[in-house]
Amino acid sequence: MRIAWVTSEVAPFSKTGGLGDVSGSLPRRLASMGHEVWVVSPWYATLGGPVAPYWIGDVEVPFDGGFDRAGVGTCSLDGVGHAFVGHADFSRDAPYGFDDDVRRFARFSRSVPAVCARLGFLPDVVHAHDWHAGFVPLVTERGWHLPPGWPGIATVFTIHNLQYQGIGALDEVVHWLRLPSSAKSSGLDHFGAANAMQAGIDHAHRVTTVSPTYAREIRTPAYGHGLDGTLRHVAGKLEGILNGLDLEAWDPLHDAAVAAPFGPDDPSPKRFAAAALTSRLGLEDARPVIGVVSRLADQKGIDTFLAAIPDLVEIGWNVALLGAGEAGLEAWAATEAVARPSRVAVTIGYDDALARSIYAGSAALAIPSRFEPCGLTQLIAMRYGTLPVARATGGLVDTIDDGATGFLYAGEGKAPFVDAARRAFAVVTHERLRREMQVHAMTQRFGWERSALAYERTYAAAMVEARSTGTIAQ
Ligand code: ADP
C-alpha cells in the first residue's frame, strides 16, 4: 500500500512526546513490510535528526480564500520518505503553544494533498494523527482544488490524546481550509465551534486510538473530554490498537547513555547504571531510585507524585524527576529538591540522555496518570528492568501485569499511589523478587509486529469503505 502518514511530530526530527516516538517507529515497520510510506510533518525551525531535508520546491496551497505558498523539503531515513512542509508559521522556537496554533495546523493539514502531488505520490490511505492533522480527512473528502485522484481517498484517523482538540471559529476555519460552506454543518461543528479532533473522528473512514482500554474509556463522560457522544456514535469504526516500542532505539544492551550494557539474560550490570545515576544527580548512595520522566501536565498526575515525595523518602526511596511543562508544577518540583537535596533530584527540561539514564538507573518509574491513552514510558521502563508504579488507566492497564511486571493501583490521590510505591520498595529491596520481576518485565515483547498487522487491516478496511462510499458530490 501507499501510505501518507500526517503528523505534527516525528522522531528523530521533532519529538515532544509519544506521538513523535510512534511516528518515528511504526512507519519504519510498515516500510519493512513492503509498504511505501511518506511521513508528512511541519518543517520546524527546531528540526533535529541525523539528516537534513533537501528543499525540492514550493507548492501552491489552497488556503484562506486564495492560494499560499509552502516549501517542501524531503529526505529518507530507514526506508521511509519524509516530507517537511515549510512556512514562516513553523519557523518558531517550539512546535506548539502559540495562540494561532489552529490556523498554523489548518495550513499544515491543507498543504498535504499538494505536497503529495509534488512528490508524485498518490496514497491509497492517508493516516492522520491527533487534532493537528484532524482537518485532513475532511479536506480530503470535501476540499476545493484537490489534485487528481484525491477526492474520496481512504482516510484513517488516530487519537493519541483526546484532551487537545484544536478549537477555532467555524466560519474562519471553513474559509482557511477552502471548504464549501456546507462544511459548516459537518463533523467539524461541535456546538457551534470548529473542532479539529471531532472533524478527524467524524470524517475518517476508520478511527483508531492507541490502546483497547482507552478506546473504551473515551466513550464515557469521565474520559471523553466532551467528545464521548461523538465517539459512541462512531463506535462501529473505532478500534484500540496498542502502541509498540522501537526496540532498537530503546535497548539497554546498546544504549550509549547506559553506563554498562545489560539485558534480560543478566540484568545485574543494571547496578552500575544505578550507581552512575545516583552520583550524577548527587543523591545519597545505596538507595533505590524511583524516577519520573514526563511532561509536567495535569494529565500525568504529577501533583500526586509531588505531594507523595515526603512519603516516598520516608519509605526509603531516592527520587529522580525529569520533566518540563506547567510552570506551577515546575516550581513545586524544584522546591521539593531544594528541601531534600540528597534524596530528591529534579531536572526541569527536555533531555533524552538523562531520560535514558533514569530509565536505566532507577529501580521503579512512577506513572500516576489521571488518564493515559497508551503511555510509552512504562514500556521503556520495563525494557530497562525498571518496574512501573502506575495508576490503572488506559494503556497502562493493557501493558502492565500487576505484581508480575510492575505495580498498578486504582483510585485517586496520593494514598493509593504511596501504597503501590511501598509494595514496589519491598520487591526492589529483596534480591530474588527484584530479579524475578525485572527479568519478567524485560522479556515482555512490546515491538510493533502485532500492531503493524492490525494497522494494515485497518487501512484495508478504510479502502473498502472509501470505495463503497465514493466521492461526496459538492
Ligand atoms: P506523552 O506522549 O503523553 O507525553 P508518552 O509516555 O506516550 O507520553 O511518551 C513520552 C515520551 O517522551 C517518552 O519517549 C519519554 O521518554 C519522552 N519524554 C517525556 N518527557 C521528557 C523529558 N523531559 N526529557 C526527555 N524525554 C522525555
Whether the per-residue pLDDT at 286 is higher than 90: the answer is no
Least confident of 244-248, 329-333, 338-342, 418-422: 244-248
Question: Which element (helix H / strand E) includes 435?
Answer: helix 431-442
Mean pLDDT of 349-354: 95
Q: How do residues 94-131 score in pLDDT, each as one tens digit?
A: 999 999 999 999 999 999 999 999 999 999 999 999 99
Please name which of 14, 18, 12, 13 lies closest in space to residue 380, comparing C-alpha atoms: 18
Q: How do residues 46-62 score in pLDDT, each as one tens digit?
A: 999 999 999 999 999 99
Distance 16 CA to ligand 1 centre (A): 7
pLDDT given at position 470 = 66
- C-alpha 330: how far from its chain's center? 21
Q: How do residues 153-163 score in pLDDT, each as one tens digit?
A: 999 999 999 99
Q: Where are the beta strands (DSSP E) in 297-391?
A: 318-325, 344-348, 364-367, 387-391
Percent of the chain with pLDDT over 90: 96
C-alpha to C-alpha distances, 205 to 126, 162, 234, 236, nearest whole angstrom? 10, 18, 10, 11
pLDDT confidence tier of residue 472, bands split at 50, 70 and 90: very low
Distance 193 CA to ligand 1 centre (A): 31
Distance 18 CA to ligand 1 centre (A): 6
Whether the per-residue pLDDT at 471 is higher than 70: the answer is no
323 lines ligand 1 (CB under 6 A): yes
Burial 361-376 (b: 16+ CB within 10 A, else e): bbbbbbbbbbbbbbbb
Mean pLDDT of 204-224: 98
pLDDT given at position 327 = 97
Q: How do residues 168-190 score in pLDDT, each as one tens digit?
A: 999 999 999 999 999 999 999 99
319 strand-pairing partners: 290, 344
130 lines ligand 1 (CB under 6 A): no
Whether the per-residue pLDDT at 391 is higher than 70: the answer is yes
164 lines ligand 1 (CB under 6 A): no
Distance 361 CA to ligand 1 centre (A): 17
Percent of the chain with pLDDT over 70: 99
208 lines ligand 1 (CB under 6 A): no
| Mean of per-residue pLDDT scores for the chain | 96
For residue 12, say if its preceding peptide bond is cis, omega within 30 degrees of 0: yes
Ligand 1 nearest atom to the CA of residue 374, by list position: 7
pTM score? 0.94
294 lines ligand 1 (CB under 6 A): yes
